[in-house]
Amino acid sequence: MDIRNIAIIAHVDHGKTTLVDALLKQSGAFREHQQVAERALDRNDLERERGITILAKCTSVVWKDIRLNIIDTPGHADFGGEVERILSMVDGAILLVDAAEGVLPQTKFVLGKALARGIRPIVVVNKIDRGDARPDEVHNEVFDLFAALDANDAQLDFPTLFASGRQGWADLEVEGARKDLTPMFDLIVSHVPAPKVDLEAPFAMLASILDYDNFLGRVLTGRVEQGRAKLNMPLKVLRADGTVVETGRLTKLMSFNGLDRVPVEEAQAGDIIAIAGLTDATIPDTLGAPELTTPIQAIPVDPPTLSMTFRVNDGPLGGREGKKVTSRQIRDRLMFEIQGNVALKVTISNETDAFEVAGRGELQLGVLIETMRREGFELTIGRPRVLTRINEETGEREEPMEDVLADVDEPYTGVVVEKLSRRKAQLQDMRPSGGGKVRLTFRMPSRGLIGYHSEFLTDTRGSGIMNRLFAGYGPWTGAIEGRRNGSLISNLDGEAVQYSLWYLQERGTLFVDPGDKVYTGMIVGEHSRENDLDVNVIKEKKLTNIRAAGKDEAMLLIPPRRMSLEQAIAYIEDDELVEVTPSAVRIRKRHLDPNARKRADRSSDSSAA
């Protein structure tokens, strides 16, 4: 059967997974009247809750006797490692661009990677049905982006479709017939080249996706680069340096049909397949025939830019809410994670029972932590910090830099520019973007963005949209001011009491409700001033047998500020930790004992001097 391999790439929330739903339905991959969940490829609980794609997934449909292998990729910059690996499996790409939002930072990132691979993308201006759609302007923006990324003449001559993935149609003209996705299927078949294959060479496949199945175990997905894979054939696994790490037989060979993996007897070069039954093979190993001697070269993945410390939960409540609490269990889980997530790196920390986990951004690491807490883990997380490097030529210290693009309502431009300028951002462009909004473009250090997103939403009354993209390394920009307010710190163990909380409200913003468990060194609120303050939140009103002359005051509490996991991680300072358990997210001081905190402060002051 003739084959086309294609990836769908785009900025986050531009409609990739919804478009794949429509492609599956109109190709006949689902039975008539079959009940299918919206965004069928987003099977992970976190993907459904957050409305984002975290893991790349492969599906396959047949159109006019041609197999179309379609891979849905993540849109968020933190999961860029997934996109880079997937592009090595395909011969074409659909670049999806929102008809209203236009070209955004991640559009530039994914397109740059595709062009560097020599891929000639199909451009789809999606969400034409939006009231604020501007398809012609966006089409021009896309062409300018191709030119800015040094696309060759063949790539600049890209075909364009105008579509609505949610309504299930695409057309070559903005005001076309708008019937179905037939124009898109036909364009994929005519524009995307069939894979160039050598069927006589020894079988070889580069593992690009690793997942786990309760019945099959480890499942490795990739494209057959050469030869044929046959069930029960002998197999060996090569690392990038040529080392043989495993030998065995190909006992489970599967191809894709719609959303399902189906067993097959044979697969040939150019097809995307899944292999199960191996124990040590991982990404990006080469799976091949016994006579294969040279591994397939994998695409180098951009290095991590952000690091966090994962520690055991050594607080007073440690071990009460989770089942997996030891450093060995945490280590095994992290090592399991990096087998399939090539954008993460894990090293042993200098601290006791701690590990340094480096990744692309706060969201990527936040998703890992949230997954672990749902699996029953307890751990504490340190403040995110950027990974710097030394320029070998100049000897200067360099740090990761970001291109930041913010769409804000005009009245809020001043406060956004002011706040980001304090964080060492340099304003590069300011232009109206329609609907009373202004598009601001900044270049700034990555560490300046840590903890800023919630502040940005507050400053723009929830109407602002901010996107970021790693832009490389630049000279160290100096100190950046942190959180201005101090913390309210519990000085006793117990349960928070309404009487105490009512009196403490005037001191700042509280994080706990009456009845919440607290302990010495736990942060129960944000002080209204710059200094930390030890407070008693478990003090109860003294009762006497003397009747009060008047009525007691009604103790009405302001609802506490509840932080999500990502908000808590972004909020903490260097001397604070986030305690994560299956049932709670708490913030605490690194040193719980107040005397230990004072000694640590004195030593840090003396070292700074």
Q: Which residues are annotated as a binding site?
A: 13-18, 126-129
What is the SS3 assignment for 574?
coil
Strand partners, 482: none
CA distances to 29, 511, 528 from 506, rounded to whole Å, are 61, 13, 8
The residues pairing with 258 across neighbouring beta strands, listed in sequence order, are 60
Binding site for GTP: which residues?
13-18, 126-129
Tell me how far apart the alpha carbons of residues 420 and 456 are, in angstroms, rounded to a whole number.
9
* Structure-token pair, residue 151: 């696309």
Find the radius of gyration of the CA atoms of the chain.
27
3-state secondary structure of 45: helix
No. of H helices and E strands in the chain? Answer: 14, 36
Provide φ and ψ at 273, rounded to 5°: -130, 170
Residues 473 and 402: beta-carbon distance below 8 Å: no
Contact (CB, 8 A) for 446 and 386: yes
Instruction: State whether residue 205 is helix, strand or coil.
Output: strand
Place of tokens 């706990």: 512
Tell me if residue 83 falls in helix, strand or coil: helix
* H helix or E strand, kind and range, residue 367: helix 362-374
Q: How far apart, in Å, do the first and last CA atoms of the chain sit?
A: 72
DSSP for 86-136, please give it: HGGG-SEEEEEEETTT-S-HHHHHHHHHHHHTT--PEEEEE-TTSTT--HH
Query: Which DSSP letter does residue 540 get?
Result: P
Question: 17: number of CA atoms within 13 Å, CB side?
Answer: 22
Residue type, 153: D
Maximum separation of any 2 CA atoms in the chain, in Å: 99
